Amino acid sequence: MSTLKQLAEAVENGQRNDAKLRTQTLRAEGRKSLEIIEQGLVPGVAGIGEKFNNNEVFVPEMRIAARAMPEAMPLLEPLLAPAGIKPKVPAVIGPVQGDQHDIGKNLVAMRLKGANFGVVEVGPNVPPEQFATAAKEPNAAVGALSALLTTTMPALKAAVLALRAAGSTTVKIIIGGGPVTPGFASEIGRRRLPSRCGQRGGPRPATRRGPASSMRPLREYQQ
């Protein structure tokens, strides 16, 4: 088995020490950072996501896997900028105001980073205006908002309105969380896009309709 495949397995299984060791080995072999990310880290993240979608693993296993990738990325990130490699799509992600739950947000952020999104994480408990400010600084193309409680769902709408009021008309906004429903989607946005977190290959770069794979469940809004 190649070292890249071993790295993918380490990430998929949440083996943090192995993920770091395999990354160091690949660097010593002269592998490029982007190659390690795209052929080692991303397949590992996609693999655990696919198992989650197939009900082969559950949130605890996903949380364990989410700890492996951060062990490897700090070894690679310093080498990306000098090589002229930049994230394809800037994104801001966080739980809305009043919501302290960030498990789902962390999982989605992991997937986005694995797909070479430039992710800015904020929160938890993010006021609408903070989302708007955070989206402006990196000129974000994607705003990902989450709410796990029915009592914090109105804050999703407030955050969307704040982004639009701040002039972020080109930001593709996606929201997720257990209580999010198609009915709620119709209340605060014009279109929705149900999706699943874990499609092989990770989230695709944002297009006119926005990212194709992020939160579970996922709703996209276009103003």
- Please give the average per-residue pLDDT across 181-203, as a whole number: 55
Least confident of 10-19, 49-58, 175-184: 175-184
At 10 the pLDDT is 95
- Looking at the fold, whether 169 and 103 belong to one and the same domain comes out as yes
pLDDT tens for 201-216 read 334 333 333 333 333 3
- Looking at the fold, whether 131 and 191 belong to one and the same domain comes out as yes
**Cβ–Cβ contacts within 10 Å for residue 162, how many?**
19
pLDDT tens for 152-169 read 999 999 998 898 888 777
Q: What are phi and psi of 183, to 5 degrees?
A: -65, -45
What token pair was written down for 142? 């994607």
At 13 the pLDDT is 93
- Looking at the fold, whether 25 and 121 belong to one and the same domain comes out as no
Q: Which of 47, 80, 113 is the last residue of a domain?
A: 80
- Looking at the fold, whether 171 and 113 belong to one and the same domain comes out as yes
- Looking at the fold, whether 106 and 202 belong to one and the same domain comes out as yes
- Looking at the fold, whether 71 and 179 belong to one and the same domain comes out as no
- Looking at the fold, whether 100 and 169 belong to one and the same domain comes out as yes
- Please give the average per-residue pLDDT across 4-25, as a whole number: 95
CATH of the domain at 213: 3.40.50.280
Q: What residue numbers bound the domain in which 33 lies?
A: 3-80
In whole angstroms, give the CA distance from residue 26 to residue 7: 9
CATH of the domain at 32: 1.10.1240.10
- Please give the average per-residue pLDDT across 106-131, as a whole number: 83
At 17 the pLDDT is 95
**Cβ–Cβ contacts within 10 Å for residue 83, how many?**
10
pLDDT tens for 47-103 read 888 888 789 988 788 878 878 888 888 898 788 766 666 777 899 999 999 998 777
Beta strands in the chain (DSSP E): 89-95, 117-121, 142-146, 172-176, 218-221
Question: Is this prediction's pTM over 0.75?
Answer: no
The mean pLDDT of the chain is 78
135, pLDDT greater than 70: yes
- Looking at the fold, whether 19 and 75 belong to one and the same domain comes out as yes
Q: Which of 80, 109, 130 is the last residue of a domain?
A: 80
At 88 the pLDDT is 78
- Looking at the fold, whether 115 and 93 belong to one and the same domain comes out as yes
Please give the residue that has the higher pLDDT: either 185 or 3.
3
- Looking at the fold, whether 35 and 96 belong to one and the same domain comes out as no
- Looking at the fold, whether 43 and 125 belong to one and the same domain comes out as no
- Looking at the fold, whether 62 and 128 belong to one and the same domain comes out as no
> Total structural domains in the chain?
2
- The alpha carbon torsion through 166, 169, 174, 177 (nearest 10 deg) reads 30
End-to-end CA distance of the chain: 48
pLDDT tier at 19 (50, 70, 90 boundaries)? very high
Please list, residue by residue across 31-65, b when 16 or more beta carbons sit within 10 angstroms of its beta carbon and e when fewer do: bbbeebbbbbbbbbbbbbbbbbbeeebeeebbeeb
Helix %, strand %, coil % for the chain, to 5? 50, 15, 40
